[in-house]
Amino acid sequence: MAAFAQEQLDALVNGMYREGFLDEQFQQIRALDEGGSPDFLVELLGLFCADTDRMLNEAALLLNQPIVDYKKVDAYFHQLKGSSASVGAHSFKLTCMLVRDSCDKNDKESCLEALNLAKQRFYELSKRLNIMIQLEQAVYAHKAGK
């Protein structure tokens, strides 16, 4: 059972690297776990997902105003770009940069397009991260139970 979970986990992570969801920074984050426990990784990814979800919603609200505060939208995506870089969320980081480019041009239409792309990318990423967290915990639970 543990071996199966480990296989699933390895396949998932390798796939995420291959598809560009993750970059080498994620490997560094994983290496920060202690004693094989995924607690730190789980905490970090949970924090990332919660913060990202909140900021995407707030940015969407701002972009749906009659007069858009591009500075505020840019500030959110500056933070999102930073946090995604910190956890190794490569493709999501790139979409954040696209939103920022649109904010620079004060272009509402392209901002909204880029935001939708960012939301979609985040949705795909967070699905995989949630599965990863469950598999990490399952593998650790089996190893710890030995």
By the criterion CB under 8 A, which residues form the site for another protein? 25, 28-29, 32, 34, 40, 43-44, 47-48, 51, 78-79, 81-83, 85-87
User: Closest separation between CB of residue 32 and another protein, Å?
Assistant: 5
How far apart CA 135 and CA 133 sit, in angstroms, is: 5
User: Closest separation between CB of residue 3 and another protein, Å?
Assistant: 28
Please, which residue, 47 or 144, has the CB nearer to another protein? 47
Please, which residue, 86 or 110, has the CB nearer to another protein? 86
Cβ atoms 106, 70 nearer than 8 A = yes
Segment holding 123, helix H or strand E: helix 108-145
User: Closest separation between CB of residue 138 and another protein, Å?
Assistant: 23
Straight-line distance from the first to the last Cα atom of the chain, in angstroms, rounded to the nearest whole number: 12
Please, which residue, 49 or 114, has the CB nearer to another protein? 49
Whole-number Cα distances in Å, 79 to 7, 20, 110, 137: 34, 20, 20, 28
